[in-house]
Amino acid sequence: MGTYNVFLRISTLGASLICAALYGGASHANEYDCLIEARQTVEIRSSVEAVIKSINVSRGDFVKKGDVLVTLESGAEEAALQLAKSRSSMQGEINAARARLQLARKKWEQAQELYEQNF
């Protein structure tokens, strides 16, 4: 029984040494190019139709909620925004001019009344 245990230990040690010599240990690894297919595909759409200006992620990147994935051309939207701001600003100026006109009319009416009273 003792001889059998010694032989088993020597043969196990020999097999381990042969494997280590053949494979060079665990530090040696082969490298292969591969493509991993996603388990789930998600379709992402914009709420407006536009031309893509830039794609801010690459294949295989990890993304999380709130990350900007794509930047859209916004030339038309920028122009529409500027036009709306301009119209809003003009409307404010028109309202201010109307208020000044109304004030001037009141002052003129008061001056007219004083003139008619020879004051």
* Contact of 55 with 70, CB cutoff 8 Å: yes
Measure the CA–CA gap between 104 and 98, rounded to whole angstroms.
Answer: 10
Asked if 57 and 69 count as a contact pair (C-beta separation under 8 A), the reply is yes
Q: What pLDDT is stored for residue 5 in this prediction? A: 42
pLDDT tens over the chain, length 119 residues: 444 444 444 555 555 656 566 665 555 567 888 877 878 888 888 888 888 899 999 987 888 899 999 998 888 888 888 888 888 888 888 888 999 999 999 999 999 999 888 87
* pLDDT value of position 80: 85
pLDDT at res. 7: 42
d(CA 86, CA 64): 37
The per-residue pLDDT for 68 is: 92
What CA–CA distance (Å, rounded) separates 52 from 73? 6
pLDDT of residue 21: 61
| pTM across the whole model | 0.37
Residue type, 83: L
